[in-house]
């Protein structure tokens, strides 16, 4: 099942990052990242973890399993 993870796009936009900038942060080709964000391909777990680490949130937040953005320390 392919998910369009709206929270990732919202976080990217909230941080004034372009798709190109986000793809570079993650070490991906721009077109590949764009397909993930548009929901045309599933985000691999390792990329979800990198996104969560970059935005200092949990993967559960990105997957909308929780509304609490901050990670427990």
Tens of pLDDT, residues 4-58: 689 999 999 999 999 999 999 999 999 999 999 998 999 999 999 999 999 999 9
Q: How far apart are the first and last CA of the chain?
A: 31
* 1 in a structural domain: no
* 70 in a structural domain: no
* 67 in a structural domain: no
* 68 in a structural domain: no
Q: Is residue 4 a contact partner of residue 64, using CB atoms and an 8 Å limit?
A: no
Q: How many domains does the chain have?
A: 1
**CATH number assigned to the domain comprising residue 17:** 1.10.260.40
pTM, full prediction: 0.87
What is the C-alpha separation between 58 and 65, in angstroms, rounded?
A: 10
* Residue 54, domain extent: 6-62
Residue 68's pLDDT is what?
85
Residue 54's pLDDT is what?
97
Residue 40's pLDDT is what?
92
CA angle, 57 then 64 then 12, to 5°: 55
């Amino acid at each position: 099942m392919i998910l369009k993870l709206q929270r990732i796009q919202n976080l990217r936009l909230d941080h004034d990052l372009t798709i190109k900038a986000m793809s570079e942060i993650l070490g991906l080709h721009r077109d590949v990242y764009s397909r993930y964000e548009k929901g045309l391909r599933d985000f691999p777990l390792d990329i979800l973890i990198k996104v969560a680490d970059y935005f200092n949130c949990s993967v559960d937040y990105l997957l909308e399993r929780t509304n609490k953005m901050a990670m427990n320390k």
